[in-house]
């Protein structure tokens, strides 16, 4: 009898040995908490600040958004490894890009006074109580006398209140912060560090509903994956146009509406925009025009670049030669007060090309509901070899029927005083990397 009971007890013990770990693993899986966006932002801020310190970054305004240039935290994969510049607002762009908010401007990035509207458009929660700050909050400070009502500094909060409005922070607002030599770091020579908040303005907090990202499955190529949901394509018809700021039906057989049904903003508030774009081509170059909805014109009368003006933009990849992991050749076309168009080329052979294109702007005045920009971009401004390192060479492209030339049309609407962006928008699912340009080809 005793032996029978012993055998029964032994069987029960074996069964429990097999079942209990399974129950434990299941319970552990059920209790596993998904990483919050605030935690993810702080995690990426740690990686970025360590990388910037270890790779001799200095304070300065980067011409390429660090999210694009340094998104993979790999010197060998940087688009321009020589530009090791960062600042308070570029840190925010960089960290949020790595967190998953990749819909940002390639050139310069979002500057501090543009970021609040962008964060609001992403459904970040505005926080006005300084004592309520939490790790991962994007904190803005009020000390920009040149822009009344706008913030002048920004950082990432890394703790709750330590007393006296002192918080841990990730901050690239000065060389000593970048180099981590303030002497107030928790771990010497490494961010985050302690610092009081002098002129608190407000903060923005990410909600877990803000961005639906499975971080473990995030694209390993740093966001360069091809988006298969782009549902538009262009057949750019052959034909010449008179550059006079008037759009004639006989001149342009291709037109496409950009509005809130098929576009998204990368800066500013959605729903404040609309444009009809037109394209054609001939042996002389690429014709590009748009009628853009706008009741508050913003412009600069001089040949000083696009910043602070309403503008039309176009990214091109002639022959689809440029690699998917790179930006396209980008043109920005700003309307002036006297009907001229200021033009600049970005990313490759960067320069003002106002005198190299033909361009006219009409009705860009108060009292009008829309204005027109019309340009001819000569092929020689599109077909070239970069004058620095030769990494982009489009000289193999020949403009002819059937030639591929994927494009990225964009529009920027600035406030009337040029202080910030009302809305900058492009087609849904497109991106500044050529992998996600609108498929296009030249036709007859």
Render pLDDT for 285-302 as a digit per residue (tens, 0 to 9): 999 999 999 887 877 655
Are both 288 and 335 inside the same structural domain?
A: yes
Which range of 54-58, 256-260, 345-349 scores highest in mean pLDDT? It is 54-58
Classified as helix, coil or strand, 311 is strand
Of 165, 184, 205, at which residue does a domain stop?
205
Q: 145, 168 in Cβ contact below 8 A? A: no
Written as six digits, the tokens of 44 are 């990426």
Mean pLDDT of the chain: 82
Tell me: the pLDDT tens digits for 132-158? 999 999 999 987 665 556 788 999 999
Q: How far apart are CA 149 and CA 244, in angstroms?
A: 40
Q: What's the pLDDT band for 260 if we cut at 50, 70, 90? A: confident
Give every CB contact of residue 212 below 8 A, 6+ residues apart in sequence: none
Of 189, 205, 221, at which residue does a domain stop?
205
Are both 355 and 290 inside the same structural domain?
A: yes
- Per-residue model confidence (pLDDT) at position 325: 67
Label the pairing between strands 85-86 and 58-59.
parallel
The tokens 């002497």 sit on which residue?
183
Host domain of residue 171:
37-205
Q: 139, 203 in Cβ contact below 8 A? A: yes
**Domain for residue 5, yes or no?**
no
Written as six digits, the tokens of 154 are 């920004």
Are both 96 and 152 inside the same structural domain?
A: yes
Phi-psi sector, 131: left (phi>0), alpha (psi -120 to 50), beta:
alpha
Among 26, 130, 108, smallest CA distance to 62 is for 108
Q: 67, 89 in Cβ contact below 8 A? A: no
Exposed, middle or buried: residue 248 (CB in 10 Å: 0-12, 13-18, 19+)?
exposed
Are both 178 and 45 inside the same structural domain?
A: yes
């Amino acid at each position: 009898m005793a032996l029978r009971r012993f055998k029964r007890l032994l069987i029960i013990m074996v069964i429990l040995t097999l079942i209990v770990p399974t129950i434990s693993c299941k319970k552990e899986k059920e209790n596993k908490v998904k990483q919050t966006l605030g935690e993810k932002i702080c995690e990426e801020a740690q990686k970025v600040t360590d990388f910037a310190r270890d790779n001799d970054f200095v304070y300065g305004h980067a011409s390429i958004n660090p999210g694009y240039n340094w998104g993979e935290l790999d010197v060998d994969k940087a688009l321009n490894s020589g530009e090791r510049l960062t600042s308070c607002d570029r840190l925010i762009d960089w960290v949020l890009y790595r967190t998953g908010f990749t819909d940002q401007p390639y050139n310069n990035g979002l500057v501090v006074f543009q970021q609040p509207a962008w964060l609001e458009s992403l459904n970040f929660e505005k926080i006005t109580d300084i004592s309520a700050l939490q790790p991962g909050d994007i904190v803005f400070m009020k000390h920009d006398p040149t822009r009344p009502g706008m913030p002048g500094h920004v950082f990432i909060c890394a703790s709750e209140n330590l007393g006296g409005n002192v918080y841990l922070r990730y901050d690239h607002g000065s060389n000593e912060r970048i180099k981590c030599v303030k002497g107030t770091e928790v771990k010497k020579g490494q961010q985050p560090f302690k610092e009081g908040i002098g002129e608190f303005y407000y903060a923005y907090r990410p909600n877990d509903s803000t961005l639906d990202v499975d971080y473990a499955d995030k694209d390993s190529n740093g966001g360069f994956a091809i988006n298969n949901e782009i549902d538009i394509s262009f057949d750019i018809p052959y034909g010449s146009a008179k550059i006079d700021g008037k759009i004639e039906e006989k001149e342009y057989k291709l037109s496409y509406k950009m509005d809130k049904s098929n576009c998204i903003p990368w800066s500013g508030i959605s729903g404040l925009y609309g444009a009809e774009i037109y394209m054609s081509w001939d042996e002389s170059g690429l014709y590009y025009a748009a009628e853009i909805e706008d009741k508050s014109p913003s412009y600069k009368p001089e040949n000083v670049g696009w910043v602070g003006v309403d503008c039309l933009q176009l990214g091109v990849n002639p022959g689809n030669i440029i690699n998917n992991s790179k930006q396209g050749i980008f043109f920005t076309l700003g309307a002036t007060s006297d009907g001229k168009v200021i033009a600049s080329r970005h990313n490759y052979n960067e320069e003002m090309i106002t005198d190299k294109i033909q361009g006219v702007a009409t009705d860009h005045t108060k009292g009008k509901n829309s204005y027109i920009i019309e340009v001819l971009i000569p092929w020689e401004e599109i077909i070239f070899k970069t004058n620095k390192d030769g990494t982009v060479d489009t000289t193999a492209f020949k403009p002819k029927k059937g030639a591929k030339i994927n494009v990225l049309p964009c529009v920027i609407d600035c406030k009337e005083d040029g202080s910030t962006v009302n809305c900058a928008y492009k087609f849904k699912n497109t991106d500044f990397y050529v992998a996600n340009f609108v498929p296009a080809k030249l036709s007859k």
